[in-house]
Structure 1
Amino acid sequence: MRLFYTALMFYTRIPVPKSIDHSADALNRATMFFPLIGWIVGGIGVGIYWLGTLLFPPQYLPILFSMIATVWATGAFHEDGFADVCDGFGGGWNKTQILTIMKDSRLGTYGTIGLGLLLAVKFFALQTMLTVEAFGWAVALKYVAAHSLSRLTAATVIRALPYAREDQDPGTPAGKAKPIAQGITPGQLTIAALFGLAPLLALVAYTGLWIYLLFLIPLALTRWRLIHFFKKWLGGYTGDCLGAVQQLTEVVVYLSFVSLLWISI
């Protein structure tokens, strides 16, 4: 339970007891709860959307408030990583330049445009999904599944790649992923997979539609492409890379749901 609180402290802004261990070793072992954090963040988004529908007409304002709630819950942790990746790879031509730009706390042109487009795609994907399908348990499970599966995908990247900043100058501040740079064990990854897949399996059980399992294919393809990309340019991953993986694969899951709804009309 203490490791779960450690994960909650690291990946969200949700208050935890002051006595919770925040050592590098505890943070590393808490990575297995990363997808479970997706349950909480996704659940917050679902709850805020539902409350929004009681006060405002669906779907625009409730969706916007839902997105704001999830950003608040995580402190824009992953969105910040995605924007840094856009800036780094947009303005850098080699590993050193890319890592240097990604460490800059200022938001650049590439990050601004990339984050704006990402949030727009996310908003309209959710809006389309809720236009075609009435809000209910199925939609709620889809929303939570997107958050848990995207975080599971990020956890698998930790297993697949080394940490890219291991050779940085000792005087340089550690990256946001440094505490989890020890990697993730097969046992921890198994636990993460159980948490990550559970909402999708619950959706399959609730709807009786096994076709939802096919959504793992575009997710796997996106993961493969991102791993190949980061390995080619950086030789590994950084915390910003993990944030980008989470954000991009979350959108991929939403788009997969929307695509199925459109095809089935």
Structure 2
Amino acid sequence: MPAAKRELIRLFAAIQFFTCLPAPAWVGHSQEHLRGAIHYLPVIGLLVGCTGAAALLLGSLLWPPLVAVVASSVATILLTGALHEDGLADAMDGFGGGRTRDQVLAIMKDPRIGVFGASALVLALLLKMTCLQAVVPARAALLLVSGHALSRFGVVVLMACLPYARETGPSRARPFAQDVSSVSIAVAGLTCIAPLALLGAPTLGGAAAAAMLGGIWGLYLRRRLGGYTGDSMGAGQQLMELGFYLGAITRLPWPS
């Protein structure tokens, strides 16, 4: 198969897996394609971030800033099927309710959301929307695009640094449970350059905060689980996205 076609198939496979968008029939459902698609995760972030940014900018023409920010959150959640938000809730339930490694992994598999997961989900959404509402819409749109891309790059780095924690049983993340190459990390990182460059100086604070939270989360996963799961990577994306917003707005002007 030509390299260009193989990469196009991998891109469509990643879009189909990480969003609710369908892929062309000729892409198929091969796990082999998913294994080679992890470096496209920040591209998915760009897609999700641009969708949220478009909803925010359009909403800001019609409604007050807070309503526009809520509309952007609705748009991104509809596009992804709340995939990463679900991971955050499951991971917080697992770590909040489980004492041993096996208990944590078992609770993460439970589709029900408990008090830890619900609390984490509500607080994360409120914090993200508050951060985005705190700046002018044009800046908030750039924050969305950059935050979604950079946080997913952070997930690629975490997967490169940690082994997969589940030894048996079905898992949606299993196709990605392999060694992530330095080439994949480089390709994923290059995807983030353009939106971060457009944002300018706030990139430094946002990237530093996201990296700090991602590093702490990775160390915690290694200590508690000895590796990562799909839910914990979803939680990691949410934490790094939130960290990026919190770090970035310290360098941005507040709206008058």
Q: Could you tell me which residue of structure 1 aligns to residue 5 of structure 2?
A: none
**Given residue 196 of structure 1, which amino acid in structure 2 is its aligned partner?**
C
**Given residue 222 of structure 1, which amino acid in structure 2 is its aligned partner?**
L
- Aligned counterpart in structure 1 of residue 55 of structure 2, from 48, 56, 74: 48
Q: Could you tell me which residue of structure 2 aligns to residue 190 of structure 1?
A: 186
- Aligned counterpart in structure 1 of residue 172 of structure 2, from 171, 176, 179: 176
Note the 1:139-158 alignment, pairs <5 A.
139-158=140-159
- Aligned counterpart in structure 2 of residue 4 of structure 1, from 8, 11, 25: 11
**Given residue 220 of structure 1, which amino acid in structure 2 is its aligned partner?**
A
Q: Could you tell me which residue of structure 1 aligns to residue 33 of structure 2?
A: 26
* Superposed displacement of residue 9, structure 1: 0.4
What is the CA–CA distance in structure 1 between the aligned matches of 2:179 and 2:114, rounded to whole Å? Answer: 30
| TM-score normalised by structure 1 residue count | 0.89
Q: Does 1:74 align with 2:70?
A: no
The 1:115–1:139 alpha-carbon spacing in structure 2 relative to 1, beyond 3 Å, is closer
CA contact (8 A) 1:28 1:184 kept: no
Q: Could you tell me which residue of structure 1 aligns to residue 101 of structure 2?
A: 95
- Unaligned 5+ segments in structure 1 are none
| TM-score normalised by structure 2 residue count | 0.92
What is the CA–CA distance in structure 2 between the aligned matches of 1:158 and 1:6, rounded to whole Å? Answer: 18
Structure 1: which 4+ aligned runs deviate by more than 3 Å?
none
Q: Could you tell me which residue of structure 2 aligns to residue 255 of structure 1?
A: 246
**Given residue 77 of structure 2, which amino acid in structure 1 is its aligned partner?**
V
What is the CA–CA distance in structure 2 between the aligned matches of 1:214 and 1:124, rounded to whole Å? Answer: 17
- Unaligned 5+ segments in structure 2 are 1-7
Q: Does 1:201 align with 2:197?
A: yes
CA contact (8 A) 2:60 2:137 kept: no
* Superposed displacement of residue 22, structure 1: 2.5
Query: How much is the aligned-residue C-alpha RMSD, in angstroms?
Result: 1.8
- Aligned counterpart in structure 1 of residue 137 of structure 2, from 135, 159, 179: 135
* Superposed displacement of residue 262, structure 1: 5.9
State the SS of the aligned residue for 1:182.
coil
* Superposed displacement of residue 201, structure 1: 2.0
Q: Could you tell me which residue of structure 2 aligns to residue 238 of structure 1?
A: 229
What is the CA–CA distance in structure 2 between the aligned matches of 1:157 and 1:235, rounded to whole Å? Answer: 13
Q: Could you tell me which residue of structure 1 aligns to residue 116 of structure 2?
A: 110
Q: Could you tell me which residue of structure 1 aligns to residue 4 of structure 2?
A: none
Q: Does 1:229 align with 2:220?
A: yes
**Given residue 144 of structure 1, which amino acid in structure 2 is its aligned partner?**
V
What is the CA–CA distance in structure 2 between the aligned matches of 1:197 and 1:21, rounded to whole Å? Answer: 31
Percent identity among equivalent residues?
38
CA contact (8 A) 1:86 1:111 kept: yes
Q: Could you tell me which residue of structure 2 aligns to residue 65 of structure 1?
A: 71
CA contact (8 A) 1:200 1:213 kept: no
CA contact (8 A) 2:172 2:230 kept: yes
CA contact (8 A) 2:222 2:228 kept: yes
CA contact (8 A) 2:213 2:240 kept: yes
